[in-house]
Amino acid sequence: MDVKKTLLNFKNGDISIDEAANELRYMPIEDLQYAVIDYNRELRAGCPEVIYGEGKSLGQIRGIVSNMKRNGAENILITRTGEEAHLAVKEIYPNAKYHPICGIVTALGNPFPKNKGLIAVFSAGTVDVPVCEEAAITAEFLGNDVERVYDVGVAGLHRLLSRLDKIKAANVIIAVAGMEGALASVVGGLTDKPVIAVPTSAGYGANLGGLAALLTMLNSCASGVGVVNIDNGFGAGYLANNINKLSGCNEQKQK
């Protein structure tokens, strides 16, 4: 629901003061018992509330999305979900798209302002790609161009060094790695751009489900490296978007 549209409708006499008050009363949040929807998040934070799909039933996802649609939401992002949820969302948003590699559902009715800076997503190994794709799809959903550079881990350092042009071209870099998580430190030592490190749970026993990679990244000796939680591709993509927007060169939002 659009605050400005409600106020304009009242100003033009299309709705009464009581109708406007009723709309505004439910605009900030709506309690569905199993979820409380934050309708004003895009106005406040630049992105509508993102639905974390894991652990939610199809009925709950359908209910949340239906209420968001009813309240004027044009863009939907659901993470950690499956094809069944996609089909349910598609009934409400016919343009909904499923990204199976990372389990994301997106629907874009009114694309976000385009950020001109490039976000590059690097993976240490192929096994890290699902987390990379969660980051990349999130960043693209929010209006960014994304360059993917996969399987360039430090076990074959020449692979990474052969992609220095991609590092130089990026405004923000996301480095995704499991095992010992060394990729972020190496990338951080090759660039003056912010590096967002994402540890993944990929690795043998002593990797401890990503804890080893997390600690390596937190202890990076390279400056300019920040770290998100284990397997948190969404958080990395969202943060990269916020950094990229600071360049101040986004285009006017299309209507």
pTM of the model: 0.84
**Over pLDDT 70: what percentage of the chain?**
91
Q: What tokens were used for 174?
A: 């996301």
Q: Domain 115-245: give its CATH code.
A: 3.40.50.1970
| Residue 253 confidence class, pLDDT cut points 50, 70, 90 | very low
DSSP classification of residue 207:
G
Per the model's pLDDT, the better-predicted residue between 88 and 38 turns out to be 88
Domain boundaries, the chain: 3-108, 115-245
How far is it between the farthest Cα atoms of the chain? 68
Q: Two tokens at 248?
A: 């101040």
For 36-72, b where at least 16 C-beta lie within 10 A, e where not — what string? Answer: ebebebbeeeebbbbbebeebeeebbbbbbebbbeee
Least trusted range by pLDDT, from 22-31, 42-51, 105-114, 119-128: 22-31
Report whether pLDDT(229) > 90: yes
